[in-house]
Amino acid sequence: MSNLGIHRIYRMKLHHVRSLEILVCMCKVLTTKKMKNCDIKQKEFVETAIFQAAERGLVEFLTNIFRVNPDLATIKNEKGRNIFQVAVKCRQAKVYNLIHGFNKDTRKTLMGMTDNDDNNMLHMVGLFSPFAQTNCIRGAALQMQKELQWFKELESMASPEDLEAANDTHAMKPSEFFSKNHEELIKEAETSMKETATSCTVACALIVTMMFAAAFTVPGGNNEDDGIPKFLNKRAFRVFIVADALSLFTSTTSVMFFLGVLTSRYAEEDFLISLPRKMILGLLTLFLSVAAMMIAFTSALFLMLPTDSWIAFPTSLLTGIPIASFIWMQFPFLVEIFISTYIPRTFRKNVNEKLNLGRVRFRDAI
C-alpha cells in the first residue's frame, strides 16, 4: 500500500480532518462577541494567522473564520494591506474571489484602499511574492498571460480614479507600475515564444518539402503514354493523395502561424490573446500535418507491398510512434494554452452567501 502512495494519501487526509477539528475549536472563540474580550497579543496572533492563510491560499480556513466573524475580513497588516491586497500580491485567486461576497459599494471601496506606500489593489498586481501561484505555471509566456489576466480582472472592477492613482514609492499609475515590474518576464516570454516557433517552423518546412515532392513522385509511378498514375483506381492511392494534400496544406498553414509569432511586435497586450492564439493554431495544424503524413506513408506501403502484408502491417503500426510522441510531449502544452486563453477558471464570482460578507463595512467606507 505504501508503494502505491495510498498510505501517504491516508495520512494527508487524516491531517486534513484533524486540522478541520482544530479550526472548528478556533472558530468557537473567534466570534465577534468573544473577540472583544481578547487581549492585544491574542488579536495579533489571530491576525497573523489570517494573513498567512491569505498568502498561502488557505481559503477553507478563511471562509470558516469569516462565517463566525465577518469583521475579521477588514483587518490590515503592518504594511497597511488588507487580506485581498495580500491575496492579489500572492496571486491567490481563491482568496481574492471572496471579494465578490461583499456588496458593490464595499468592493469599490476595497479597490480604492491603499497601503502605507499608497499602493491600491491594482498596484499589487505589479508586485511579486514568494507565494505567487504563477511560479507553478509552465513557461514564461503563460506566466505573462496569467499576469495580464489578473490585471484585466482588477481593472474591470476599478474606478477611473483608481486607474489614475499614483503610488508614493515610484509615482506611477497601476498600468505603468505593472509594465515596469514585468519587463524581465516579457523578455523571457518573447524568447520562449520565438524558440518554440523557430523549432516548429523548421519541422513544418521539412514536412512541406517532403509532401510537395511526394505529390509528384507518386507510388508506382505514372504511365509513359498519358502520365496518369498507375495506381489511380486503387483505394489506397486515393487515401495517399488526400493525406498528402492534407499534410501539405496544414503544414504550410502552420508555417504561416509560426511566422506570425516570429514577426510579432511582442507588445504587452499581445501575450493575452494574440500570441497564444497563433501558437494554438500553429501547434494544432502541425499535429494534423504529422498525422496526415503518417497516413500517407502507410497507404504508400500498402500500394508498394500489396502481397507482403506481413511487412506492411507491422511497419504501419510503427507510424503511430511519432503521433504518440507528439501527443505525449506537445499536446498537454497545447491543451494548457487553450484552457488558459479561452476557458480561464481563475476568477469565480459565485461566493458562498453564508459568509455574510455583504453586511461588512470597512472603516474607509464609513
Residue 209 lies in a domain: yes
Lowest model confidence (mean pLDDT) among 192-201, 218-227, 257-266? 218-227
Q: pLDDT band at 361, cuts 50/70/90?
A: low
Q: What is the CATH number of the domain that holds 119?
A: 1.25.40.20
Cell numbers that stand for 28 in this block = 468557537
Is the Cβ–Cβ distance between 146 and 182 less than 8 Å?
no
- pLDDT of res. 4: 58
Q: What is the pLDDT of residues 141-188, one digit of tens each?
A: 999 999 999 999 999 888 899 999 998 888 999 999 999 999 999 999
Taking residue 204's Cβ as centre, other Cβ atoms within 10 Å add up to 25
**175 with 195, same domain?**
no
Nearest to 299 by CA among 318, 312, 286: 312
Q: Give the number of residues written for the chain.
A: 366
**133 with 227, same domain?**
no
**177 with 49, same domain?**
yes
Q: What is the pLDDT of residues 297-341, one digit of tens each?
A: 888 888 777 766 667 677 777 778 888 888 888 888 888 899 989
Q: pLDDT band at 357, cuts 50/70/90?
A: low
Q: What is the dihedral of CA 73, 76, 81, 83, to 10 degrees?
A: -30
Q: pLDDT band at 362, cuts 50/70/90?
A: low
Task: Please state the rounded mean pLDDT for residues 40-65.
Answer: 88
- pTM, two decimal places: 0.84
**273 with 310, same domain?**
yes
CA distance 83 to 73: 7
- The residue that leads in pLDDT, 364 or 120, is 120
Sequence-distant (≥ 6) Cβ neighbours of residue 345 within 8 angstroms? 339
**30 with 158, same domain?**
yes
**175 with 226, same domain?**
no
Range of the domain at 272: 191-329
Taking residue 111's Cβ as centre, other Cβ atoms within 10 Å add up to 21
Sequence-distant (≥ 6) Cβ neighbours of residue 6 within 8 angstroms? none
CA distance 352 to 64: 11
Residue 156 lies in a domain: yes
Domains in the chain: how many in total?
2
Residue 119 lies in a domain: yes
SS (H, E, C) 250-275: HHHHHHHHHHHHHCCCCCHHHHCCHH
**37 with 147, same domain?**
yes
**307 with 361, same domain?**
no
Q: Where are the beta strands (DSSP E) in 9-88?
A: none
Residue 51 lies in a domain: yes
**79 with 132, same domain?**
yes
Residue 3 lies in a domain: no
Residue 127 lies in a domain: yes
Residue 87 lies in a domain: yes
Look at the alpha carbons of 86, 87, 88, 91 in this order and tell me if their dihedral is positive or negative.
positive
Residue 336 lies in a domain: no
Rg (CA), the chain: 29
- Per-chain mean pLDDT for the chain: 84
